[in-house]
Chain A
Amino acid sequence: MLEDYFRQYALIGIFAAVAVLVPTGMLLASYLASLARIRPTRPRPPNWRESPPPYLRTYESGLQPIGGPWRRINIRYYAFGLLFVIFDIETIFLYPWAVEYGVLSARFGIFAFIEALIFIGILAIGWAYAWRKRAMEWT
C-alpha cells in the first residue's frame, strides 16, 4: 500500500526531473560550448538593459519585442487576479465535498446538498457584487 502510494508520485517526480533537466542541460551545454570557444561570446554594453543589441533581446518567436519587459501593468490585472484567487479557493473547498458527495448524500440526505448551496450562495453575493461594480469589465 505504501509502495503504491509513492509509485504514482514517482511518475510525477520523474516528470519533474526531466522538466528541470532539459532546460538546465541546454543552458549548461551552451555555457560549456562558450568555454570551449565553439559558441561566440558577446559582451554586454553598459546600457544593455535600455537598448540591448540584437543578440541580447528577448526572443519572441522572431518578432521584435515592443517596449521593455518592465512595463508597469494595469491595476485591472490585479482585480482579475484577485477574483481568480477567491473563486479558486471556493472551488478547492468544494472539491472534497464533490468527491465524497455520493457517500455524503447517502448519510446526510439533502443536508449535504444544502450545505454546499449555502456556501456557494454566500459567495454568489460576492460574484454579483463584482459584476455590479464592473470589476469584471475592461473599460
Chain B
Amino acid sequence: MTESSALVDVIFWVGAIAAIGASVMVVAARDVLKSAVFLAASFLAVGGIYVLLRAEFLAAVQVLIYVGAVSILIIFTIMMVRQIAGGNRSAGPFYVVTGAIAATLVSLAVIYAAYNTDWSDLDAAAASDQRVEAALTGSYASQPAPGNPKVDIIVAPATAAANSHPGVFERSTGNLGQLFIRDYVLAFEIISLVLLAALIGALVLARERRPT
C-alpha cells in the first residue's frame, strides 16, 4: 500500500495541477477557441482523477461525453459564429478582480470545510454497498428510524464484513448497473425524459435560427 500510495499521490497532484491550470487558462485565454481546447484538457485531467478515485465508469463517461462530445459541440458553436472565431475578447479589470476574489473565497471556504468536517467515512460507504448486496439477496431488515418513528430505515445485516473488503471499489460499473435498476431506477427513467426534452428543445431552436 505505502509505495504505491506515494505514486498515487504524485499522479494525483499532477492531475490536480493540470486540471486547475487548464481551468485557469480557459478563463485567461484571449481566444475563445483556445479556451475550448483548454476546457477539453481540464475535462481530461479530471477524468484522470476519477481513475485515481477508482471510479472507472465515471472516468470513461468523462472522456467519452465531455472530452469527446461536449467539447466538440462547443467548438462547433464557436466556429458557427464568425465574429468570435479567431477573435479576441477581454474582460475589464473589474471583472478580473472581483472574479478572482470570489473564486479565492469559494475555494478557501471549500478547503476549510473539507478539512474541518468529520465526513461520513469509507465504512459507511461500504456499509451502504453492503446494504445493496443484502437487499439484492433479500436478507435486509428494516427498523424505525431514530427520532422519526414514521420512517423505516434499512439496516445492513453485518457492518463488520463490510469493513473487511472495500466492496464499492470493486466492479464499480457493475454495481452501478445494479443501482440503476434498484435504488435509482426512478432517476434512471427520468433521465430519458430529460434527454428527450433536451433533444426536442434544442432541435426546435436550431431549426428556428435557420433562414428559410
Asked whether the complex places CB atoms of A and B closer than 8 A, the reply is yes
By a beta-carbon cutoff of 8 Å, the part of chain A in contact with chain B is 2-3, 5-6, 9, 13, 70-73, 75, 77-79, 81-86, 88-90, 92-93, 95-101, 103-104, 107-108, 111-112, 115, 118-120, 122-123, 125-126, 129-130, 133, 135
Interface residues in B175-204 by Cβ distance below 8 A to A read 176-178, 180-181, 185, 188-189, 191-193, 195-196, 198-200, 202-203
Cβ of B140 < 8 Å from any Cβ of A? no
Least CB distance, A86 to chain B, in whole angstroms = 5
Across the interface, A129 reaches (CB within 8 A) one of B72, B79, B81, B199, namely B199
Task: Give the CA-CA distance A73 to B3 in the complex, in Å.
Answer: 51
4 smallest A-B Cβ distances: which pairs?
A100-B177, A96-B177, A122-B192, A126-B199
List the interface of chain B (C-beta within 8 A of A): 1, 4, 7-8, 11, 51, 54, 57, 60-61, 64-65, 68-70, 72-73, 76-77, 79-82, 85-86, 136, 173-174, 176-178, 180-181, 185, 188-189, 191-193, 195-196, 198-200, 202-203, 206-207, 209-210
Contacting pair B174 A118 (CB below 8 A) = no
Interface of B is mostly: helix
Contact A72 B85 (CB under 8 A): yes
Determine which of A13, A97, A130 lies in contact with B199 in the assembled complex, contact meaning CB atoms within 8 Å: A130
Q: Find out whether the CB atom of A88 lies under 8 angstroms from the CB atom of B65.
A: yes
Question: Which chain B residue lies CB-closest to A100?
Answer: B177
B85 touches A70 (CB 8 A): yes
Cα distance A98–B115 in the bound complex, in angstroms: 39
User: Are A82 and B51 neighbours in the complex by a CB distance under 8 Å?
Assistant: no
Partner of B195, one of A90, A104, A107: A90
B30 to A: closest C-beta gap in Å? 15
Pair A70/B82 contact, Cβ less than 8 Å = yes
Q: Is the CB of A96 within 8 A of B176?
A: yes
Complex contacts, B136 vs chain A, CB 8 Å: 107
Nearest chain B CB to A4's CB is how many angstroms away?
A: 10
Chain B residues in 8 Å Cβ range of A2: 1, 4
Q: A85-B65, A86-B198, A135-B203 are in contact. Are A96 and B70 (CB under 8 A)?
A: no
Q: Measured between C-beta atoms, what is the minimum distance from B51 to chain A in Å?
A: 6
Chain A residue with the shortest CB-CB distance to B166 = A1
Question: Chain A's nearest CB lies how many Å from the CB of B40?
Answer: 14
Q: Is the CB of A77 within 8 A of B76?
A: yes
Residue of B at shortest CB range from A78?
A: B76
Most buried by B among A98, A108, A122, A130: A122
